[in-house]
């Protein structure tokens, strides 16, 4: 399997929420960064990446980093998500390699 690449990486990871934003947001961003790094390392050119994110500190920089590596990045809030929840998903398509 060495050298095998994937067409799509999906990450729905989230940390156990403590209710302390200064702790929860960095943990969530760390998981998103791990998922992005995995996607960049193991994806084929033109692959896609879907990741759960939480809006807050680090969110804008993260989305900017996706835009550097993918042709198109779309951020959407799922209808099933509560209105007050900062949860969103970013879909990045067209990995630039």
The residues annotated as belonging to the active site are 52
Q: What are the helix (H) ranges across 1-97?
A: 21-42, 59-69
Residue 5: closest CA among 37, 41, 34: 41
In eight-state DSSP terms, residue 31 is H
Q: What CA–CA distance (Å, rounded) separates 4 from 57?
A: 34
């Amino acid at each position: 399997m060495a050298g095998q690449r994937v067409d799509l990486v999906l990450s729905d990871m989230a940390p156990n929420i403590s209710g302390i934003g200064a702790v929860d947001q960095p943990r969530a961003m760390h998981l998103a960064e791990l998922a992005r790094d995995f996607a960049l390392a193991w994806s084929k050119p033109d692959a896609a990446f879907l990741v759960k994110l939480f809006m807050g500190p680090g969110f804008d920089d993260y989305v900017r980093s996706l835009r550097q590596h993918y042709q198109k990045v779309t951020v959407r809030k799922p209808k099933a998500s509560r209105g007050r929840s900062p949860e969103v998903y970013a879909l990045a398509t067209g990995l630039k390699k």
